[in-house]
Amino acid sequence: MCSRENNAELQHASTDPALILELKTRRPPSLEGRAGCETWSVDFSPDGAWFAWSMGHGIVWVVAWPLDSEDSQDGETDRGDKSFSCGHPVWGLAFGPRPPKSAAASAGRAKTSSKWKNSLLLATGLENGVIKIWNVLTGEAVFDLHGHEGVVRDLVFPQNGTLTLISSSRDKTLRIWDLNQKGKKVQVLSGHKDWISCCSVSSDCSMIASVGRFDRMVCLWSLRSYIFIRNLTGGTHKTLYLLSSCDFSPDGALLATAAFSGSSWWIDLWDPYTAEKLATLVDYFEDYGQNQISSIQFSPNGLNLAIVTDDRPLRIWEAGKKGMVMQTKTDRDSNGLCCNYHPQGGVVATGTRDGHVRFWRVPRTVPSLCHLCRSILRHSVSTHQMEPLPLPKRILEYLTYRNIPDRLKTCCSSDEEDWQS
């Protein structure tokens, strides 16, 4: 069902130097372009050794990364391609558990059941509201989670090594599942007035962010007490607009939200601790029609933000800067829906409406010492804790991201400004 095209063929078929390769789904011609074949979600495993995507028609394909690896066996581990038949269209998926960044977080986390201690799990959110849990290494379905009454749109494992799973759904709720208990212990978060498009968890696992597509709510929730914290307001640029995506920066000090209206899209950067909107990146598409922004994600080092829109398969923006670090060539037929960074950076995978996946080479930016110090500090110190410190104003502004210009505009979307390798 899946074909891998080699780099030479792909480069010959595409003039974009950033495209590494493309995975295309084999299906009968009668199904091409029809509803149900979309790749709504893609994900890399926490160690970067596996890649999964929803390839349409209820099928999830899992492959070893890198794709050109000649070894399909790694000791006792089967490294061959795996196909999971979910029975219903798959809208969200996530690998887990995700190990914590710091040793302190690892020491303080809840114990994982010995049964799943060395397992790699894949959670898949289905159109009928069911979440299926799979053991990636054995290819077996483990158990199902029931409770959602609408499409499960997004899934996230917190980065604390536990078997906690957060799901968001079109039934207007988020659910927090304990997979150690096979989902029998569930926390339900209610407050959205319509479909939830996306959810994200802060790196210290203290907050959940969720965005409502039609209710235009950006909600923050406590992952520790399971209560609503606040709705972020002040980011409205137009009366009628839709929210599509959100993501916390790796240090948890920034929350990016994406919205669009007609021919324009924008990204707001928020301080999740103070609810202050720090900056807005705005793009106006002047050619024709709607220009939807579908997905955003911070790079593993927190310097860049990957952006998927209707007019370009991928943009890479250094948060707070004017212009793009990289942007692919204009393509109104790119059909981009989602994106995901490889854990080590350098590669971004994007999924499309036709069930295909593209892998893009993106710049590897070496973080400055200042950025590294800020990231380490902000991972464990909130804005409220930072502000009373006796620091020079300029340093405090840098540490709290107040040095970002409050309004930015993207560079011209002309082919002359495309990134070149």
- Tens digits of residue pLDDT in 378-397: 999 999 999 999 999 999 99
> What span, in angstroms and rounded, lies between the C-alpha atoms of 244 and 251?
22
Please identify which residue in the block is written with the tokens 């107040």. 402
Class of residue 12 by CB neighbours under 10 A (exposed 0-12, middle 13-18, buried 19+): exposed
> What span, in angstroms and rounded, lies between the C-alpha atoms of 381 and 391?
14
Contact between residue 108 and residue 97 where contact means Cβ atoms under 8 Å apart:
no
- Neighbour tally for 152: CB within 10 Å: 30
- What tens-digit pLDDT sequence spans the chain (421 residues)? 444 443 323 333 456 889 999 988 776 666 666 677 899 999 999 999 999 999 888 999 999 998 865 554 455 556 688 999 999 999 999 999 998 876 554 544 455 555 666 789 999 999 999 999 999 999 999 999 999 999 999 999 999 999 999 999 999 999 999 999 988 888 999 999 999 999 999 999 999 999 999 999 999 999 999 999 999 986 555 567 899 999 999 999 999 999 998 878 999 999 999 999 999 988 876 655 678 899 999 999 999 999 999 888 999 998 878 788 999 988 877 789 999 999 999 999 999 988 889 999 999 888 999 999 999 999 999 999 999 999 999 999 999 999 988 777 664 444 334 333 3
Closest C-alpha among 139, 50, 129 to residue 95: 50
Q: Is the dihedral of CA 5, 308, 53, 366 positive or negative?
A: positive
Class of residue 115 by CB neighbours under 10 A (exposed 0-12, middle 13-18, buried 19+): exposed
Residue-level pLDDT at 319: 81
Residue-level pLDDT at 143: 94
Contact between residue 40 and residue 94 where contact means Cβ atoms under 8 Å apart:
no
- Tens digits of residue pLDDT in 181-201: 988 888 999 999 999 999 999
SS3 readout for the chain: CEEECCHHHHHHHCCCCCEEEEEEECCCHHHCCCCCCCCCCEEECCCCCEEEEEEECCEEEEEECCCCCCCCEECCEECCCEEEECCCCEEEEEEECCCCCCHHHHHHCCCCCHHHCCCCEEEEEECCCCEEEEECCCCEEEEEECCCCCCEEEEECCCCCCCEEEEEECCCEEEEEEHHHCCCCEEEEECCCCCEEEEEECCCCCEEEEEECCCCCEEEEECCCCCEEEEECCCCCCCCCEEEEEEECCCCCCEEEEEEECCEEEEEEEECCCCEEEEEEEEECCCCCCCCEEEEEECCCCCEEEEEECCCCCEEEECCCCCCCEECCCCCCCCEEEEEECCCCCEEEEEECCCCEEEEECCCCCCCHHHHHHHHHHHHCCHHHHCCCCCCHHHHHHHCCCCCCCEEECCCCCHHHCCCC
Residue-level pLDDT at 344: 95
> What span, in angstroms and rounded, lies between the C-alpha atoms of 315 and 323?
10
Contact between residue 253 and residue 304 where contact means Cβ atoms under 8 Å apart:
no
Residue-level pLDDT at 111: 54
